[in-house]
Amino acid sequence: MREIIFDTETTGFDPLTGDRLVEIGCIELFNRVPTGTTFHRYYNPQRAMPAAAFAVHGLSDSFLADKPLFRDGAQELLDFLEDSPLVAHNARFDFGFLNHELSLCNRPEISLGRMIDTVAMARTLHPGAKHSLDALCTRYGIDRSHRVKHGALLDAELLAQLYIELTGGRQIGLTLASEEDQREDERTTQLLVAVQTVRVTRPARTFAASSQELERHRAFIAKLTDPLWLTGSAAPGD
């Protein structure tokens, strides 16, 4: 089964306030094993890079000035992604920026049904623990010593290792696995996709006045002289 691990870098936190995607890095997995095929692009955001964002990823205005616009490379990205499940850490953030960029160039958004969120997986496996990429790499012994600043492709590579660990370790993707094992892996991934997209619907809250509040209300109404809404009706308390 083909899956894509991806990460993005941006100018900030919210595309709806003008922040833009500036980098995307993708790692291809087949049966939970990296194939060596990657996709990595920088994009000109057509806006200045805030100092806070630059401190995170180090992508400056001058570096991005000659990079293509997202709309000019959207099709090659979509061709790479195909219809594969997409794995990201805090995936709604990355999906939000990716879909915003696609909408800006009149492209269909990517369905959240393809989303697998490793933060949600980690919270299920390790409730109460820290779930940042750094913390989880430390927990699973994944070397991140070369990660000085955030980078989309580097973070996707780390996330690919983490995803393999979160889904059972490297033995899952061994080529010696039986066809039934591989089918089971596919069913597991489909379940993970479904779990990440389930929305919890809470019952509506019931707000009812207490007997004391109702009594005070009746007493207040009784003090009114010929209220219009009681014209032709019984008096309060009758």
pLDDT tens digit sequence for 153-199: 999 999 999 999 999 876 444 444 455 555 666 665 565 555 555 55
Amino acid 73 reads G
Element (H, E) at 86: strand 86-88
The lowest-confidence range among 34-38, 115-119, 224-228 is: 224-228
Q: For residue 224, is pLDDT > 60?
A: yes
The lowest-confidence range among 38-52, 95-109, 134-148 is: 134-148
SS3 for 103-120 is HHCCCCCCCHHHEEEHHH
Tell me: is residue 57 an annotated ligand-binding position: yes
Q: Pick from 197, 171, 202: which is nearest to 184 by CA?
A: 171
Q: What is the pLDDT of residue 177?
A: 47
CA–CA separation, 100 vs 166, rounded Å? 29
Q: SS3 for 217?
A: helix
Q: What is the pLDDT of residue 233?
A: 53
Q: What is the pLDDT of residue 129?
A: 95
CA–CA separation, 195 vs 146, rounded Å? 33
Q: Quick one: average pLDDT of 87-106?
A: 97
Tell me: is residue 7 an annotated ligand-binding position: yes
The pair of three-digit structure tokens given for residue 219, joined into one six-digit string = 């007493």
CA–CA separation, 21 vs 44, rounded Å? 8
Active-site annotation, residues: 150
Domain ranges within the chain, ordered by starting residue: 2-197
The pair of three-digit structure tokens given for residue 9, joined into one six-digit string = 């870098």
User: What is the residue-wise DSSP string for 2-35?
Assistant: EEEEEEEEESSS-GGGT--EEEEEEEEEETTEEE
Tell me: is residue 238 an annotated ligand-binding position: no
The lowest-confidence range among 70-74, 92-96, 150-154 is: 150-154
The more confidently predicted of residues 202 and 46 is 46
CA dist list (Å): 101 to 105, 110, 128, 177:
7, 11, 34, 39
Mean pLDDT taken over the chain: 86
Q: Is the distance from CB of 117 to CB of 88 less than 8 angstroms?
A: yes
Q: Pick from 27, 153, 8, 24: which is nearest to 84 by CA?
A: 27
Distance of alpha carbon 212 from the chain centroid? 47
Length of the chain: 238
Tell me: is residue 155 an annotated ligand-binding position: yes
Q: Is the distance from CB of 91 to CB of 159 less than 8 angstroms?
A: no
Q: Quick one: average pLDDT of 47-75?
A: 96
The more confidently predicted of residues 227 and 82 is 82
Q: Is the distance from CB of 99 to CB of 17 less than 8 angstroms?
A: no
Q: For residue 80, is pLDDT > 70?
A: yes
Residue with tokens 């005070």: 216
Q: Would strands 21-30 and 115-117 be described as parallel, antiparallel, or unpaired?
A: unpaired
Q: Please state, for a pLDDT cut of 70, what percent of the chain lies above it.
A: 79
Domain 2-197 fold is Nucleotidyltransferase; domain 5 (3.30.420)
Q: For residue 53, is pLDDT > 80?
A: yes
Q: What is the pLDDT of residue 172?
A: 42
